[in-house]
Amino acid sequence: MDPLAEARRQWEEHGWHDAAPGMAAVTSVVRVQQLLLGEVERRLADFELTFARYELLRLLAFSRAGSLPMGKLGARLQVHPTSVTNAVDRLEAQGFVVREPHPTDGRTTLATLTDSGRDVVERATKVLNDTVFAGVGLSRRETETFLRLLTKVRGELEK
Amino acid sequence: MDPLAEARRQWEEHGWHDAAPGMAAVTSVVRVQQLLLGEVERRLADFELTFARYELLRLLAFSRAGSLPMGKLGARLQVHPTSVTNAVDRLEAQGFVVREPHPTDGRTTLATLTDSGRDVVERATKVLNDTVFAGVGLSRRETETFLRLLTKVRGELEK
DNA sequence: AAAGATTGAGTTATCAATCTTC
DNA sequence: GAAGATTGATAACTCAATCTTT
Using 50, 70 and 90 to split pLDDT, how confident is the model at B72? Answer: very high
CB A21 under 7 Å to nucleic chain D: no
C-beta atoms of B21 and A144 within 8 A: yes
Say if CB A33 and CB A41 are below 8 A apart: no
CB A27 under 7 Å to nucleic chain D: no
Q: What pLDDT, on the 0 to 100 scale, is given for residue A75?
A: 96
CB B87 under 7 Å to nucleic chain D: yes
Q: Which of residues 83-112 of A touch strand D (CB under 7 A)?
A: 84-85, 88-89, 99, 102, 105, 107-110
**CA–CA min distance B25, chain A (Å):** 6
What percent of chain B clears pLDDT 90, i.e. is strictly above it?
Answer: 96
Q: Say if residue B96's pLDDT is above 90.
A: yes
Q: Say if residue B159's pLDDT is above 90.
A: no
User: How far is CA B147 from each of CA A21, A43, A119, A154, B45, rounded to the nearest angstrom?
Assistant: 8, 27, 39, 15, 27
Q: What is the DSSP string of B26-46?
A: HHHHHHHHHHHHHHHHHHHGG
pLDDT digits (tens, 9 = 90+) for B133-147: 998 899 999 999 999
pTM assigned to the model: 0.95
Q: How far apart are CA B119 and CA A156, in angstroms?
A: 31
C-beta atoms of B133 and A40 within 8 A: no
Quickly count helices (H) and strands (E) in chain B.
7, 3
CA–C1' A80–D9 (A): 17
C-beta atoms of A22 and B144 within 8 A: no
* Cβ-proximal residues to B6 (8 Å cutoff; 6+ apart), any chain: none
Nearest to B21 among A22, A28, A147 (CB): A147
C-beta atoms of A22 and B151 within 8 A: no
CA–C1' A41–C20 (A): 36
CB A124 under 7 Å to nucleic chain C: no
A29 CB burial (10 A radius; 0-12, 13-18, 19+): buried
Q: How far apart are CA A46 and CA A64, in angstroms?
A: 27
Burial state string for B88-99 with b = 16 or more CB within 10 A and e = fewer than 16: bebbbebebbee
Q: Which of residues 69-88 of A touch strand D (CB under 7 A)?
A: 69-72, 74, 81-82, 84-85, 88
Question: Which parts of chain B are beta strand (E)?
Answer: 67-69, 97-101, 109-113
Helix, strand, or coil (residue A98): strand
C-beta atoms of B36 and A30 within 8 A: yes
Q: Say if residue A159's pLDDT is above 90.
A: no
C-beta atoms of A29 and B132 within 8 A: no
Query: Which chain C positions have some atom within 7 A of a protein CB?
Result: 3-8, 11-16, 20-22
Q: How far apart are CA A71 and CA B106, in angstroms?
A: 54
- Mean of pLDDT values over A97-113: 97
Q: Which nucleotide, over all strands, has the C1' atom closest to the CA of B89?
A: C6
pLDDT digits (tens, 9 = 90+) for A37-75: 999 999 999 999 999 999 999 999 999 999 999 999 999
